[in-house]
Amino acid sequence: MQVLGTEMHMVTFLFVCIETVILFYLVIYRLARPDDKTGFLDTILIFLLLLYNITGGLLPDPDLPGSFFLQECIAYGTGFITPAISPIMFTKALSWRK
């Protein structure tokens, strides 16, 4: 089942909605506590997950402007960057040391 005539599935759309709510909460939390380092890292991580799910769900779409190759590069680029940066965020947020 597709959402609103796009390539995004219903489950991906549900995750995008949940992640958007979490992102708004984290932005408000960050504004209330500007010195909290883990809140900032959590905001970056949820933003990357949101970007990954949006690009993975919507791209490639022949109805969108831009070449198919560019849309594939964006979708696979976010698909690579998000899991590559996640371990770095976890180690910084949890203050793990060698």
**Residuewise pLDDT in 10s, the chain (98 residues):** 688 878 889 999 999 999 999 999 999 999 999 888 888 888 999 999 999 999 988 888 888 888 999 999 999 999 999 999 988 888 888 887 76
pLDDT for position 2: 80
Q: What is the pTM of this model?
A: 0.85
Q: Are 36 and 30 in contact (CB under 8 A)?
A: yes
Classify residue 2: in a domain, yes or no: no
**Pair 62, 68: CB distance under 8 Å:** yes
pLDDT of residue 98: 66
Domain count, the chain: 1
Which domain does 46 fall in, by range? 10-93
Residue 67 belongs to some domain of the structure? yes
**Alpha carbon distance 48, 31 (integer Å):** 19
E-strand stretches of 1-98:
none
The pLDDT value recorded for residue 64 is: 83
Residue 78 belongs to some domain of the structure: yes
